[in-house]
């Protein structure tokens, strides 16, 4: 995994921001799409979020000092 802690922190910040944005778009499209469209897209987004969380977990194992306190 990422050895450089500064780069690891940048990656984590980007992943967390992206997860938040994906979550926001889910709320937006839920109101504007059919239920079928929403569920199909939500499955894709859930897979993406899971992948981001896996990467975050791996980085936090390597660099526990950058793990946000609320994630404990």
Please indicate, yes or no, if residue 58 is contained in any of the structural domains: yes
pLDDT more than 70, % of the chain: 100
Task: Please compute the mean of the pLDDT values over residues 46-57 and round it to a whole number.
Answer: 96
Per the structure, the count of domains in the chain is 1
Question: Does the CA dihedral 31-37-39-43 come out positive or negative?
Answer: negative
Please indicate, yes or no, if residue 46 is contained in any of the structural domains: yes
Please indicate, yes or no, if residue 71 is contained in any of the structural domains: no
Please indicate, yes or no, if residue 70 is contained in any of the structural domains: no
User: Whole domain around residue 36: which residue ranges?
Assistant: 5-63
pLDDT over threshold 90, residue 61: yes
Position 7 scores a pLDDT of: 97
Please indicate, yes or no, if residue 69 is contained in any of the structural domains: no
Please indicate, yes or no, if residue 12 is contained in any of the structural domains: yes
Query: What is the pLDDT of the chain when averaged over all its residues?
Result: 95
> What Rg, from alpha-carbon coordinates, does the chain have?
15
């Amino acid at each position: 995994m990422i050895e450089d802690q500064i780069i690891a922190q940048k990656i984590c910040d980007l992943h967390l921001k992206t997860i938040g944005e994906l979550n926001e778009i889910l709320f937006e499209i839920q109101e504007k799409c059919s239920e079928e469209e929403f569920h199909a897209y939500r499955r894709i987004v859930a897979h993406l979020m899971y992948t981001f969380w896996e990467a975050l977990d791996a980085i936090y194992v390597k660099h526990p000092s950058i793990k946000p306190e609320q994630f404990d």
